[in-house]
Structure 1
Amino acid sequence: MDWKIFLTVLASVFIAELGDKTQLATMLFAADKEVSKWTVFFAASAALILASAMGVLAGSLLSSYINEKVLHYIAGVGFIIIGAFTLYKA
């Protein structure tokens, strides 16, 4: 296992997930006194695993057809557009 890649992905995804809508939704589910916190934890974890698996699969498929550098540019432009839209709506 490439620990440098592992730690880079771990840190990036962890920081990106802090305070996002997914974490807030999970917090709201866990706030319900009648709901098992373990159920919420395992369901949220499974959802993140599935979403991550879809991302890995999509990235693997796209990299077969599109150059990795081009994919990085596309992702960068996408993030800039999302950021600009978020600032516009604020």
Structure 2
Amino acid sequence: MTAFFTVFVTVFLAELGDKTQLATLLFASDGDRNKWFVFFAATAALTASTAIAVMLGAAAERWLSMLPLKMIAGLGFVAIGAWMILGHFQRA
């Protein structure tokens, strides 16, 4: 059960305020659209993209098991953060 909550909280926090959530918010704010249609379409899209990620991750497991994936992912996020901070100061 701990693994479930770890994955849930991590993905939930990662999705807050991202482009997908903002696009869904904008679709739902359109008065001509049925809100349930927006909810189910967004749910189906997230489920499909998550299924693809899980399948690719499971398939890549045998080739990536020897790599320090947490360190590589962490360095990737640090690099993206540094790039964004640099971009902020270059525009100022």
Structure 1 and Structure 2 fold alike (TM over 0.5): yes
- The partner residue of 1:48 within 40, 46, 49 is 46
- The partner residue of 2:81 within 73, 80, 83 is 83
Q: Report % sequence identity.
A: 48
Superposition TM-score, scaled by structure 2 size: 0.85
Unaligned runs of 5+ in 2: none
Which residue in the other structure is 1:62 paired with?
A: 60
Which 4+ stretches in 1 moved above 4 angstroms? none
Residue 42 of structure 1 deviates from its aligned partner by: 0.6
- The partner residue of 2:69 within 71, 74, 78 is 71
Unaligned runs of 5+ in 1: none
- The partner residue of 2:21 within 20, 23, 26 is 23
* Higher mean C-alpha deviation, range 78-87 or range 20-29: 78-87
Structure showing greater Rg: 2
Write the deviation string for residues 19-38 of structure 1: whole angstroms up to 9, x where unpaired: 11111110000000000101
Aligned residues: 88
Which residue in the other structure is 1:32 paired with?
A: 30
